[in-house]
Amino acid sequence: MTVPQTSSSSAMTAKAKTAASQFAEADEKYKDKLESMTMEERALLGLPYIAADPTLVDTRTNTRKLLRQYNQSEPGPTSPNETEGFNDISNQARRAILEKLFKIDSAKAKRIFIEPPFWCDYGSNIVFEGDFYCNFNTTILDVAKVTLGHGVLFGPNVHIYSATHGKLGLGL
């Protein structure tokens, strides 16, 4: 049995073809560069990329493992003598995870205070320009670069989305 195509599904097919042709145009425009670019480089430039790229999947998987460690880590100071910063939020174990997650040194990690749970895509695309604090349940989808200036304070439930899904010609 063949299901007749409605006018709205015909319109969607036409729009999808339009989106495909627009992505093809972008591919053609950046052809010389695209062939040598990684999917990560494409994403950071806002170009079409394949999120299922094995390197990106591995990176996101490693990030999720670090986030799980951070979100389940014990609060409180590393030692009774530790008096620097918010000791109930940041301790040596948590700072070590932040160093790996954001690919930063220990001096910078000491200036970042994140109340768990915290969520992000990659971590490495988040840049801290100084002291930073965020309250519970922050999400930063860092497919593209996110820069947080000195002295930034987030309340609870802050969500930052640095990129969107492709929507060329889809009428979204």
pLDDT digits 0-9 by tens, 101-145: 999 999 999 999 999 999 999 999 999 999 999 999 999 999 989
In a domain, 92, yes or no: yes
- Asked if residue 94 and residue 129 are part of one domain, the reply reads yes
Pairing of strands 126-128, 118-120: unpaired
Model pLDDT, residue 145? 92
Nearest residue to 63 (alpha-carbon basis) of 97, 106, 14, 19: 97
Model pLDDT, residue 79? 64
- Asked if residue 92 and residue 43 are part of one domain, the reply reads no
User: Which residues constitute the domain of residue 21?
Assistant: 10-50
- Asked if residue 45 and residue 59 are part of one domain, the reply reads no
Mean pLDDT score, 141-155: 95
Residue 122: phi and psi, rounded to 5, are -125, -35
The domain total for the chain is 2
Instruction: Please tell me the distance from the alpha carbon of residue 106 to that of residue 169, in angstroms, as a whole number.
Output: 46
- Asked if residue 22 and residue 66 are part of one domain, the reply reads no
As given in the structure block, the two tokens for residue 143 are 């497919």
Q: What is the pTM of this model?
A: 0.75
Of 6-10, 76-80, 130-134, 163-167, the one with minimum mean pLDDT is 6-10
Work out the burial of residue 49: count CB atoms within 10 Å of its CB; fewer than 13 is exposed, 13-18 middle, 19 or more buried. Answer: buried
- Asked if residue 65 and residue 130 are part of one domain, the reply reads yes
Residue 18 has pLDDT above 70, yes or no: no
Q: Which residues are catalytic?
A: 165
In a domain, 172, yes or no: no
